[in-house]
Amino acid sequence: TMEVRGRGPRGEAPWKKLSKEELENQYSPSRWVIRRGAEETLRTYSRIGEEEIRAWEPIS
């Protein structure tokens, strides 16, 4: 058996005390990940790429 700090070997795991709803919220990325549309995602990645290219260009 695995021991939980501060409890004996038969201590209940903390996550077992959470409600089903709380477990769903904490362990379902679809509940806490911000979904973006395809166009917005492409704009964001393009902007990041352009910024990186500028950062690596030699300064004249």
Q: What is the pLDDT of residues 32-60, one digit of tens each?
A: 778 889 999 999 999 999 999 999 888 76
pLDDT confidence of residue 12: 83
* 9 belongs to a structural domain: no
pLDDT at 16 over 70: yes
Contacts of 14 (CB under 8 A, 6+ apart): 4
Specify the pTM.
0.41
* 43 belongs to a structural domain: yes
* 37 belongs to a structural domain: yes
pLDDT confidence of residue 28: 86
pLDDT at 1 over 90: no
* 5 belongs to a structural domain: no
Number of domains in the chain: 1
In the block, residue with structure tokens 């973006």: 36
Q: Which domain holds residue 24?
A: 14-56
- Asked if residues 32 and 25 have their Cβ atoms less than 8 Å apart, the reply is yes
